[in-house]
Amino acid sequence: MDDEGLDRREFLQRCGAAAAIAWVVRVATTEAEQRGDYKAADHLYGMAIDPAKCIGCARCMEACRAENDVEAGAVRTWVERYVLTTDGQTIVQAIDEKHQTKAPVDEHKILRTFFVPKLCNHCANAPCVQVCPVGATFTTPDGVVLVDKDYCIGCRYCIQACPYGARYLDTRTRTADKCTFCYHRITRGLVPACVEVCPSGARIFGELKDRNSPLARYMRFSKLQVLKPHLNTEPHVYYANLDGEVR
């Protein structure tokens, strides 16, 4: 080719390269900016759950699995269905993501029924953090309990120590795993996937310290309870008007 100009192929190649560079620069700067802006110590996250609003659709479970690549057979969040019967029994089931959960008793015998979403309670006084022999499970300055997969030795003591059944062993990495409050989302100002998709607003996520956050407002106007308070784990997940049958 002569020196007068670019041929079409060369032009397209250069455009492509320029676009790629622009994309990389944009992504890098966005991330860098966000990292720079985000100071974990300025935040303290929590979640409130309103069981009365939960309709048991399991969209939170699906969203969590998709967002966090949760392997089959394990859950980071789940929904329990409580069925109180007229003869005084309490039957509990975990809702199936494929919506195949059948009512455990004849509907005429049902006195009352309700749903309770569950997840890691991100305890301030977390037994899992206490027992981890190498410190692979830790609490972030913004109050989230996380697992360092590159550090976890897979002893599963944390799974035994969690009173809420929130932890499991990821058989692909052979390390402990659990809900992260979608840490990769919340540090970018988003809400966790389960909160994002909940159609009835049964999960309220936000800042515990900030008086104006949706969570703080909800907590001001609700009667709250935590799960298994006698264990003194100090959860950061709060339940509104919780039924005494829920454990």
Partner 1 sequence: MTGYMYPNEIELQWGLLIVLYPYITGLVAGAFILASLERVFNVREVQPTYRLALLTALAFLLVAPLPLLAHLGHPERSFEIFLTPNVRSAMAMFGFVYAWYLMVVLLLEIWFDYRHDLITWTAGESGFMRFVHRVMTLGATDVSPRALRFDNAAGRIITIIGIPSAFLLHGYVGFIFGSVKANPWWSSVLIPVVFLFSAIVSGIAAVLLIYVISGVIRRKPVDELCMGKLASFLFYALTVDFSLEMLDFIHRLYTAEESIKILSALVTSRLFISLVVLQLLLGTVIPLITLALTSPAFERRAIVKVPAAMRRRIFVVAAMLVEVGIFCTRWNIVIGGQLFSKSLRGLTVYKLQMYGLEGLWVSIGLVLLPLAILLVLIRLLPPWTDAGPPAHRAPGTGAVVTF
Q: Of 79 and 182, which CB lies nearer to partner 1 in the complex structure?
A: 79
String of contacts with partner 1 for each residue 13-52, x by CB under 8 A: ----------------------------------------
Q: Does 181 bind partner 1 (CB under 8 A)?
A: no
Q: Does 231 bind partner 1 (CB under 8 A)?
A: yes
From the list 8-16, 21-29, 35-43, 160-168, the region that binds partner 1 by CB under 8 A is 160-168
In the list 40, 84, 124, 131, the residue contacting partner 1 (rule: CB under 8 A) is 131
Q: Does 165 bind partner 1 (CB under 8 A)?
A: yes
Stated length of the chain: 247
Shortest distance (Å) from residue 78 CB to partner 1: 5
Which token pair is 180?
């992260």
Separation CA 75–CA 98 (nearest Å):
14
Q: Does 151 bind partner 1 (CB under 8 A)?
A: yes
Shortest distance (Å) from residue 169 CB to partner 1: 6
String of contacts with partner 1 for each residue 72-101, x by CB under 8 A: -xxx--x-x----------xxxx-------
Dihedral sign for Cα 225, 230, 79, 76, please.
Answer: positive
Separation CA 238–CA 240 (nearest Å):
7
Separation CA 96–CA 164 (nearest Å):
19
Shortest distance (Å) from residue 201 CB to partner 1: 24
Residue 173's nearest CA partner among 188, 152, 192 is: 152
Strands in the chain per DSSP E: 45-49, 77-85, 90-94, 110-119, 137-139, 145-147, 168-170, 175-177, 203-207, 224-225, 237-240
Q: Does 156 bind partner 1 (CB under 8 A)?
A: yes
Residue matched to tokens 């005494």: 244
> Which residues bind to partner 1, rule: CB under 8 A?
73-75, 78, 80, 91-94, 118, 127, 129-135, 151-157, 159-169, 173-175, 231, 247
